[in-house]
């Protein structure tokens, strides 16, 4: 079952169970997915759906940082609950070593030698890491190899 259908199914279960956190979190994720589908003019593939979930998690991490500055532990707790809930829909995240190995292989495959070649490497590597690492993590790994070389 693809992630969007799983989210829709889980929303129904959350409504039956009256699980406020699950209902709120799934509704926000489905809304983001539907908006992206409207922008695209069609259904999203699995990779794009996972990217939206990662974006939702990133937004909640930013909320946590802002809430900590504002001394709002209630908002921090709510955002942390939502993050842990959303993470169950993502595939297993890559370890730093696995990401480095993939980045090294992509740098070699692209024949990249300088930071100016980063775009070529990212074009190869991003589809391989979709949903398993954030774009920031991927670019840091690639940058590490291109600066070392």
Q: With 70 as the cut, is the pLDDT of residue 148 above it?
A: no
- Is pLDDT at 27 greater than 90 in this prediction? yes
pLDDT reading at 149 higher than 80: no
DSSP annotation of 7 reads: H
How high is the pLDDT of residue 17?
96
pTM for the whole structure? 0.77
Within 10 Å of residue 91's Cβ, how many Cβ atoms?
Answer: 11
* Domains annotated on the chain, with CATH: 3-87 (1.10.1510.10), 96-148 (1.10.10.410)
Q: Is residue 11 a contact partner of residue 19, using CB atoms and an 8 Å limit?
A: no
């Amino acid at each position: 079952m693809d992630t969007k259908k799983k989210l829709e199914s889980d929303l129904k279960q959350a409504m039956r169970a009256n699980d406020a956190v699950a209902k709120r979190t799934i509704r926000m994720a489905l809304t983001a997915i539907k908006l992206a589908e409207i922008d695209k003019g069609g259904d999203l593939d699995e990779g794009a759906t996972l990217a939206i979930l990662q974006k939702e998690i990133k937004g909640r991490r930013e909320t946590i940082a802002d809430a900590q500055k504002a001394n709002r532990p209630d908002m921090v707790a709510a955002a942390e609950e939502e993050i842990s809930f959303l993470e169950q829909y993502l595939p297993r995240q890559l370890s730093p070593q696995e990401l480095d190995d993939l980045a090294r292989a992509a740098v070699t495959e692209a024949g990249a030698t300088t930071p100016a070649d980063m775009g070529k490497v990212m074009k190869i590597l991003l589809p391989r890491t979709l949903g398993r690492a954030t774009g920031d993590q991927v670019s840091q790994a690639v940058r590490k190899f291109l600066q070392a070389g």
